Structures are given as structure tokens and as C-alpha cells.
Amino acid sequence: MPGKKRVLAIASAGGHWQQLMLLRPAYEAHEVHFATTLEGLGASYEAHPCHVVPDCNRNEKIAMIRSAVAVFALVLRLRPDVILTTGALPGVMALAAGRLVRARTVWVDSVANAEEMSMSGRLARRFADLWLSQWESVAMREGARYEGSVL
């Protein structure tokens, strides 16, 4: 990835966000925009600029629509070269939206998923150029790549 890239680093609040923050050394030399689902979270991690998108899960159809509209609008506005996410569903939406702007897309499944790829991770597979698990055994079983763990 020669040259400075525009990166969208997006994750839901909680463990997904914490793991995304642990990956910062991998992308901090680029122009980074952060996105998460909890107001004020970016400021508490000195992650600027930070955009807030509505949280959602598969059981809340209206929330999913709101989140998808916000995430797609964000991606279309920023036009990132790379989208990196550690999950969950809003991150998958960002990867899907990334296809519209020809962004390279990276999914890093949560370290909490030690037995199998998460449901969001399985969905992300169809949109991710680089699909990673933090567990070597899960990566081998699921067909993902393993490059280590952030914890």
C-alpha cells in the first residue's frame, strides 16, 4: 500500500472498538477517519475525526435500515481507499458500501470468537478483500487468514 491512503476504521462500541484501537499502529501513518456506534467514544480514545453511526443487530430491522443508510452515506462521502473493521454489523455494512467506491476491505474477526467465525464475520466474507481470524484454528477451519492476535 504505497503512499498515504484514506482509511475508514469502523467498529461497534465495546470489545470491537477496543480491538480496532489496538490495531492503530498498522494504519496510523495514513489519513484515518474513525466511526463507531457510541457518541464520545472517539474522543475518549483520541480518535479524530470520529463519526457516529447508529448501532444495530439482526433482530432490529428498523435499526438495521437506519444504520445501513448512515454507514453507506458515510462511505460515499469519505470515499476511503481502505475500510478496516473488527465488527460487528455496522462494520459489515461499511465493507459492503466499500464495494461502491472500490475501497480495499479488511475484516478482523473478534478475538472473542475462539471456536468459529462470528455471524457478522461469515457475512463479511463476501465483502472483504482480506478476511482474518485472530485464532489460527478458526482461520484454518473457516478458510480465513491468520496473521496473529491483537491481544
Mean pLDDT of the 10-14 span: 97
Assess if residue 113 is contained within a domain.
yes
User: How does residue 146 score in pLDDT terms, banded at 50, 70 and 90?
Assistant: very high
Give me the mean pLDDT over the 3-9 stretch.
95
Q: Report yes or no on 32 lying in a domain.
A: yes
pLDDT at residue 84, rounded to an integer: 98
Lookup: cell for 130: 482480506
Distance of alpha carbon 146 from the chain centroid: 17
Integer Cα distance of 9 and 19 in angstroms: 11
Domain count, the chain: 1
Query: Is residue 13 a part of any domain in this protein?
Result: yes
Residue in this structure with the C-alpha cell 484454518, named with its chain if needed: 140
Task: Tell me phi and psi for residue 148, to 5 degrees.
Answer: 115, -175
Write down the pLDDT at residue 3. 85
Q: What's the whole-number average pLDDT of the chain?
A: 96
Write the pLDDT tens digit of every residue in 81-93: 999 999 999 999 9
21: which 3 cell numbers? 484501537
pLDDT (0 to 100) of residue 141 = 96
The neighbour count for residue 53, using CB atoms within 10 Å, is 24
What was the pLDDT predicted at 108? 98
Contact 48, 42 (CB under 8 A): yes
The percent of residues above 90 in pLDDT, for the chain, comes to: 94
Q: List beta partners, residue 6.
A: 31
| pLDDT, average across residues 127-131 | 98
Is 95 part of a structural domain of the chain? yes
Chain-centroid distance of CA 109 in Å reads: 9
Residue 1 has pLDDT above 60, yes or no: no
Tell me if 17 sits within 8 A of 11, measured CB to CB: yes
Quick check: is 60 in a domain?
A: yes
Residue type, 121: G
Name the residue among 12, 7, 42 with its Cα closest to residue 120: 12
Q: What is the mean pLDDT of residues 13-41?
A: 97
Is 151 among the domain residues? Answer: no
The reply to whether 1 falls in a domain is no
Pairwise CA distance, residues 25 & 99, whole Å:
25
Which whole-number Å values give the CA distances from 50 to 32, 59, 70, 87, in the listed order?
Answer: 9, 26, 14, 16
* CATH code for the domain in which residue 131 is found: 3.40.50.2000
* Mean pLDDT to the nearest integer, 103-116: 95
Q: Are 91 and 85 in contact (CB under 8 A)?
A: yes
In a domain, 97, yes or no: yes
Give the domain range for residue 137.
6-146
- What pLDDT is attached to residue 2? 67
pLDDT digits (tens, 9 = 90+) for 49-102: 999 999 999 999 999 999 999 999 999 999 999 999 999 999 999 999 999 999
